[in-house]
Structure 1
Amino acid sequence: MTSKRKHLSGSQKRTKKRLQEEAHANSKVSAEKTAPPTDPGFWLSPITDSFRTEMHTHYLGKHIQNELIQISNKLMEDIVIKIRQSKYFTLILDCNPDISHQEQMSIIVRTLNLENTPEIQEHFLGFVVVEETTGLNLSTVILEKLKELDIPFQDCRGQAYDNGANMKGKRQGVQARLLQKKPRAVYVPCGAHTLNLVIADAAKVSRDAIGFFGHLQKLFTFFSAATQRWTVLRKHVHLIVKSRSDTRWESRLQSIHAVRHQATRIRDALVEARENVSDPVAKVEAQALAEEVGSYRFLICSVVWCDILTIVNQVNKLLQSASMQLDVAIDLINKAKTSLALYRESGFAGAQTTAKELCEDMNVEPQLKQKLIRSTKRHFAYEGADEPEKFGVLLKFNNIEKISHESLKSQCAKVETTLSCNGESDINRLELAQEIQNLLSVPLQTTALEMLSLIHEKQLEECTPTCG
């Protein structure tokens, strides 16, 4: 909607004045005729239609509702006329479920008003219930809505949606399908949503950031779990921690501000809550949170993320302005990138200094304690690395004929080394190789024990002393 206040026409002013007069008269009638009677028998008599009509005279009556609908229709007609006068427009769409769990798509048209001085305006065309949020269905619904309002889609010169796959998809998304119909309807992703996603992804790759925001959520969950705990928190602090949002980082900034500037008070509130609660689990949780809030690592994270989100939030609010322009948005984002790059070089040292001062206020040692947990895989005895092959030649009697002479000598040398100790060996590799070559052909899948049984059965011990 445009931010400028709209002037009422003459008929609208007369309607408004008449509504005010009717409301004033109805209030007097209601005060005089609907006052509780003193006669008890009155409540036992049936209610007449005339009395029921008098009782239900209010702003939501059918006549007033019809007039409100007529006024809204007239406003919509004025909006459509302005869009046509501006000639070109940009579509802004977003989908969200309402309280009745129905998916509704909000439709906003962005135009450039050239009547006096050039002015960017945004006009809200209403909510449309959608059954499916696929790119095909959403694009069909928006085209039907424009056709219903008699707004020519051929004048569309821009699209602005969030980064959802159904909206920005290159093949099946809404922007792709509308581009097929009108290639000049250029798609520009929502800058504020994109910026929020960048910060969210940056936080997900840092273990410290994940732990920090997790403890912020635990703080809110702990105090909001019982009214007594919330009362204790309100007694100590002025800024209240809030529940986190995955996309709205402004809500997280409010919680970070509360911790950043009231860390000592929040820690005192946790200590008091620990003494007041009777549940042992809650006592342990309060103690753990108090220790975490007073830790040097947590305080550094609170200072760093407060500084970072303050920079981002300023840009985020400006990007959502109705009068925002593409070149200005690009300039704002570039300046934010420059500020974050400078903070990376020099901001962390300042954050450490501030965190140390907070530690001194809490009488806590400013030390970064290692909290890493070894993630090496546990190996059981049967999962150990395979031992090098030391008895291969003694385990492959069925393949002796396929083994070359050099390979056989090499494997026999391994057996000799395995059975050696202090320079002495149980066998001689050359003799073992020679005896194996002199063995008769043996059946397939012959085991070492079966080979030994064969030598004993044929009485070949003298011929094969090493094998025997």
Structure 2
Amino acid sequence: MAKFDPVRKQHVGRVESGAGSHTHYMGKRIQNELIDSISSKILDTIVEEIKRCKYFSIILDYTPDLSHKEQLSVIVRIVSLEDKPQVKEHFLGFLVAEQSTGERLTLLILKRLGELNIPFEDCRGQSYDNGANMKGENKGVQARLLQQNPRAFCVPCGAHTLNLVVAEAAKSSPDAIGYFGYLTKLYKLFSASTHRWDILLKHVKTTLKSWSETRWESRIKSVEAVKYQAGQIREALLEVRETTADPVVRVEAQSLAEEIGSYRFIICTTIWYDILYKIQHVSKLMQSPSMQLDVAVDLLKKTGDSLTCYRRTGFSDAQTTAKEMCEEMNVESVLKQKRLRSTKRQFGYESPDEPIDDALKNMEITFFNVVVDTALSSLDERFQHLEEVNNKFGVLINFPTTSNEELSKHCQTLSSALTHDGQPDIDGRELAAEMQNVPHLPSKKMTNMELLTFLHEKKLTEMYPNLWVALRISATLPVTVAAAERSFSKLKLVKTYI
């Protein structure tokens, strides 16, 4: 390398001649020593910033690495106060978890914070995925940490909530399960052969997409490719049927071409695209590191309202879109009733439901209503816990429109929630008095971060100390574990590719 670098060439020359210091930084271990030194310095800087900010939240998630060892990713979320209030999420490293029980993971986390001299008493939030050993209310990590610090509010991951909503909806109906099964067969048929993939490329602009088994909302890409190119994909399947010499592939291509050209499949495609589009957009927003609890709750509420509205008109709208797509493909827009398997009737006190002869009505009841209702029910169930935490801090943004009596009540509730061992973070009475005397705000509806920035820019932090502290704690609470998921991408890059 010295041949191409004059500075290095001069250095190597001094080392070879024996001139100068014996420390020449050309040993076989020097790279790791330099990396460790840089890592240590960065970590010290992060820890110093965490201590300056005082309040922090932890984000935890774990995954097996290439050597089949559980790697626990530790992220700390703070509100930095250097120039202006800013949310930061710092990665503190991976911890090898020999056992993934709630007890062992809790000890591992507390040990790491102790090594870095970060007091767990200043933790005000914790967020995990939906694993039982993490979020379990009895023996999970969140329960054990709450025993030591009741002020470490557990906030469920909003992005995982939406992911589970879609997953449960996709498994709620036989038609829903069958639909995604056809998409899988479609992708596998073309991707299994370069010749068949070339045929597909001749007909479409956007290729078919595979999906992650765990990130259900990402399936919108695979549904989108079919929704806007159903006719072209059908033509590609017919060409595969005519050109292939494999009888199995010929039958599979014919079967898929018939299915894609069916009125039932096109209605399912339209409905799933509409549902996934509503959820995927919000899911992307929820993964932002700067996402705030109050904004996340508002987004989830709007998603629920949007699905409720879609429940009323979505099926009729899907029929209209499906008919237009059928006309473009020159196929009949007729829904045929599926034949039901005859089963032996057993004696029972309750009579069975009367069969529905209208195929469209039957599809609306057994597919559309079931899928949307399951999504709404799942969203409401998981939304409750997030809203409970948000309600404790709701007074921080609703105080301009709250009466003095209600304001004092909510401030005392928040003060009690932020008190442990007789040590409160804020004084409820003083907080209510501060809110009643806040100067004119630019807007009556401001987010926590906007109000925090307003107090900082107007240099009012010392005049409103309780409001300042409460807003910082609220902004510190995480609403997603996306930062931990991103660290796994780097882990895979290092361990698998490099």
Q: TM-score, length-normalised on structure 2?
A: 0.63
Using the TM superposition, give the Cα deviation of residue 88 of structure 1 relative to its aligned residue in structure 2, in angstroms.
Answer: 1.0
Which of 141, 145, 157 aligns to 1:174? It is 141
Which of 22, 25, 31 is equivalent to 2:5?
25
Q: What is the distance in 2 between the residues matched to 1:71 and 1:234?
A: 48
> Which one has a bigger Cα radius of gyration?
1
| Structure 1 residue 98 displacement after superposition | 1.8
1:345 maps to 2:345: no
Secondary structure (helix, strand or coil) at the match of 1:305 reads helix
Note the C-alpha offset of 1:26: 8.1
Question: Structure 1 residue 191 and structure 2 residue 158: aligned?
Answer: yes
2:276 to 309, 319, 324: 309
**Residue from 66, 75, 88 that aligns with 2:33:** 66
**Alignment correspondent of 1:236:** 203
Matching of residue 150 in structure 1 with residue 117 in structure 2: yes
How far apart are the structure 1 equivalents of 2:282 and 2:26? Answer: 42
Relative contact order, higher structure (CA 8 A, sep 6+): 2
Distance across 1 between alignment mates of 2:6 and 2:40: 27
CA deviations 1:253-295 (Å, max 9, x no partner) are 1001100111111111111112222221111111111111111
Does structure 2 conserve the Cα–Cα contact (< 8 Å) formed by 1:135 and 1:172?
yes
Match of 1:81 among 30, 48, 70: 48
> Is 2:222 aligned against 1:222?
no
Contact 1:193/1:247, CA 8 A, preserved across alignment: no
Aligned counterpart, 1:255: 222
Deviations along 1:28-81, whole A, 9 cap, x unmatched?
Answer: 97xxxxxxxxxxxxxxxxxxxxxxxxxxxx999633332222112111111111
Tell me the equivalent position of 2:258.
291
Q: CA 1:24–1:78 in 2, change beyond 3 Å: closer, same or farther?
A: farther
TM-score by length of 1: 0.67
Q: Distance in 1 between matches of 2:276 and 2:157?
A: 18
> Is 1:274 aligned to 2:254, yes or no?
no
Deviates more, 1:245-254 or 1:360-369: 245-254
* Secondary structure of the structure 1 residue equivalent to 2:341: coil
Does the residue aligned with 1:105 lie in a helix, a strand or coil? strand
CA distance in 2, matches of 1:330, 1:93: 21
Is 2:2–2:8's contact at 8 Å kept on the other side of the alignment? no
1:95 to partner: Cα distance: 1.0
Instruction: Please give the residue correspondences for 1:298-447 in structure 2 after superposition, counting only pairs within 5 Å.
Output: 298-374=265-341, 376-377=343-344
**Larger CA deviation: 320-329 vs 249-258:** 249-258
TM-superposed CA distance for 1:163, in Å, is 1.1
- Which residue is equivalent to 2:480? none
Q: Which amino acid aligns with 1:210?
A: I
Q: Which stretch has the larger CA shift, 268-277 or 318-327?
A: 268-277
Give 1:195 shift: 1.4
Seen in structure 2, the aligned counterparts of structure 1 residues 166 and 23 have a Cα distance that, compared at 3 Å, is farther
Instruction: State how far apart, in whole Å, the 2-side matches of 1:134 and 1:260 are.
Output: 44
Deviation string for 1:422-455 (max 9, x for gaps)? xxxxxxxxxxxxxxxxxxxxxxxxxxxxxxxxxx
Q: Structure 1 171/303 Cα, relative in aligned 2: closer, same or farther at 3 Å?
A: same
2:167 to 200, 221, 224: 200
Distance in 2 (CA, whole Å) between partners of 1:227 and 1:345 is 44
Farther-moved stretch of structure 1 (314-323 vs 246-255):
246-255
| Residue 212 (structure 2) aligns with | 245
C-alpha distance in structure 2 between counterparts of 1:377 and 1:364, whole Å: 37
Q: Are the equivalent residues in 2 in contact too, given 1:243–1:251 (CA < 8 A)?
A: no
In the alignment, structure 1 residue 104 sits paired with structure 2 residue 71? yes
Match of 1:165 in 2: 132
Instruction: Give the letter for the 1:25 counterpart.
Output: D
Q: Secondary structure at the match of 2:228?
A: helix
Partner in structure 2 of residue 456 of structure 1? none
SS at match of 2:94: strand
Distance 1:61 1:81 in 2: 32
Q: Offset of 1:234 from its aligned partner?
A: 2.2
Residues 315 and 23 (structure 1 numbering): CA distance in 2 closer, same or farther, change over 3 Å? farther
Q: Deviations over 1:149-208 (max 9, x none)?
A: 111111111110011111111111110111111111111110110111112112211222
Question: What is the deviation of 1:250?
Answer: 3.7
Q: 1:26 to 1:292 in 2, by over 3 A?
A: farther
Alpha-carbon distance change, 173 to 226 in structure 1, aligned in 2, over 3 angstroms: same
Cα displacement (A) at 1:372? 4.4
Aligned length: 335
What SS does the corresponding residue of 2:229 show, helix, strand or coil?
helix
The question of whether the paired residues in 1 share the 8 Å contact of 2:217 and 2:279 is answered with no
| CA distance, structure 2, for counterparts of residue 280 and residue 113 of structure 1 | 65
Query: How large is the RMSD of aligned CA atoms in angstroms?
Result: 2.7
Distance in 2 between residues matched to 1:68 and 1:229, nearest whole Å = 48
Q: Which moved more, 1:117-126 or 1:345-354?
A: 345-354
Whole-angstrom distance in 2 between the partners of 1:209 and 1:315: 22
One-letter code aligned to 2:263 = Y
Of all paired residues, the percent bearing the same amino acid is 57
Instruction: Tell me if the contact between 2:209 and 2:225 (Cα under 8 Å) persists in the aligned partners.
Output: no
Report the residue type matching 1:244 in the other structure.
W
Q: CA deviation at 1:378?
A: 8.1
| Mapped contact 1:120–1:322 kept (Cα < 8 A) | yes
SS of the counterpart of 1:361? helix
Unpaired stretches in structure 2, ≥5 consecutive residues = 10-24, 349-498
Kindly provide the amino acid, as one letter, of the partner of residue 299 in structure 1: I
Partners of 2:237 and 2:253 within 8 A in 1: yes
Paired with 2:140 and 2:156, the residues of 1 have a C-alpha distance of: 12
C-alpha spacing 1:116/1:200, structure 2 compared with 1 (3 Å)? same
Letter in 2 for 1:334: K
Deviations 1:219-272 (A, max 9, x none): 112112222222222222222222233331243110011001111111111111
